[in-house]
Amino acid sequence: MHKYYICPECKGHIMVGDYIIFTARNQKKESGLLLLHPNIGNYDSIKHPSFKFKAGEMLEFCCPLCTSCLVSGFDKKLVHVIMVDKDSQEYDIYFSRIAGEKSTYKISGESSSVMSTGEHSHRYTYFKMPDNMQKFLHKD
Ligand SMILES: [Zn+2]
């Protein structure tokens, strides 16, 4: 299935080859490129060994093109990117900024349906998601 990811700020393509590319920053404000797998639920990531962070550390995820840091509007612990699938349908994707935390949400703009994935996704079940979306929240 062909899909791609774009930055919500500049609409630039942040998926190149097989990975989504971010400029990440750890809590010491050190920067490094962080590559995330585009399949939702796959938490594989690639980075240079010189860029270090610990499990539980909150990272900043910034667009490598426009340098905007991609924080969700409703919960600053979540990153927001846009996925476009092969039918040109756009989805809002949110995932945790906390290293090691596996929480991803895929929200379809048209139907307002929410798909949550990851063993820690329950942590955000009651976050400030609008009520009309919460009722669609379900485990896939
Ligand atoms: Zn951007």
How far apart are the CA of 79 and the centre of ligand 1, in A?
13
Q: Is the pLDDT of residue 137 over 90?
A: no
pLDDT at site 124: 67
**Residues within 5 Å of ion ligand 1, judged at the Cβ atom:** 7, 9-10, 12, 63, 65-66
Least confident of 69-78, 81-90, 102-111: 102-111
Q: Is the pLDDT of residue 136 over 80?
A: no
121-133: string of b/e by CB count within 10 Å (b at 16+)?
beebeeeebeeee
How far apart are the CA of 135 and the centre of ligand 1, in A?
31
Boundaries of every domain in the chain: 4-139
How far apart are the CA of 76 and the centre of ligand 1, in A?
18
pTM: 0.84
How far apart are the CA of 100 and the centre of ligand 1, in A?
24
How far apart are the CA of 13 and the centre of ligand 1, in A?
8
Q: Mean pLDDT over residues 95-103, rounded?
A: 93
pLDDT at site 118: 86
Percent residues over pLDDT 90 in the chain: 66
CA 48 to chain centre: 20
The DSSP secondary structure of 77-139, one letter per residue, reads: TEEEEEEE-TT--EEEEEEE-BTT---EEEEETTT--EEEESTTGGGGTTSS--HHHHTT-EE
pLDDT, tens digit (0-9, with 9 covering 90-100), for 8-30: 999 999 999 999 999 999 999 99
